Amino acid sequence: MAVNLDPDLLSILVCPKCRSEFRVDDEANELICTNAGCALAYPVRDDIPVLLIDEARDTRAESEPASN
Ligand SMILES: [Zn+2]
């Protein structure tokens, strides 16, 4: 299910943690922070972005290699 957000709305949304812009991940139904040092993914529920840091997923952990 694709994310169906008003482009005007998306353009004014920023990450509540770092104030960076988002990119839309249609497959995951998430808004991804474009700041590589933050990279939180916020869920979109019923076409409403849930911009809560507590609800966000940290996408950095998935791409980092195990440290051992
Ligand atoms: Zn961010």
For residue range 6-51, what is the model confidence (pLDDT) as tens digits? Answer: 889 899 999 999 999 999 999 999 999 999 999 999 999 998 999 9
Query: How buried is 13 (Cβ within 10 angstroms: 0-12 exposed, 13-18 middle, 19+ buried)?
Result: middle
Which residue range forms the structural domain that includes residue 38? 7-63
Tell me if 24 is assigned to some domain: yes
pTM here? Answer: 0.83
Distance 31 CA to ligand 1 centre (A): 10
And the tokens for 54? 């507590």
Q: Which residues of 23-54 are buried (b: 16+ CB within 10 A; e: fewer)?
A: ebeeeebbbbbebeebbbbbbbeeeebebeee
Is residue 1 a part of any domain in this protein? Answer: no
How far, in Å, is the centroid of ligand 1 from the Cα of 39? 6
Q: What is the CATH number of the domain that holds 56?
A: 2.20.25.10
pLDDT for residue 2: 79
> Helices (DSSP H) in the chain: which residue ranges?
7-12, 60-63
The mean pLDDT of 50-57, rounded to a whole number, is 97
Whole-angstrom Cα Rg for the chain: 12
By the CB criterion, residues less than 5 angstroms from ion ligand 1 are 15, 17-18, 20, 33, 35, 38
Residue 54 lies in a domain: yes
Report how many domains make up the chain. Answer: 1
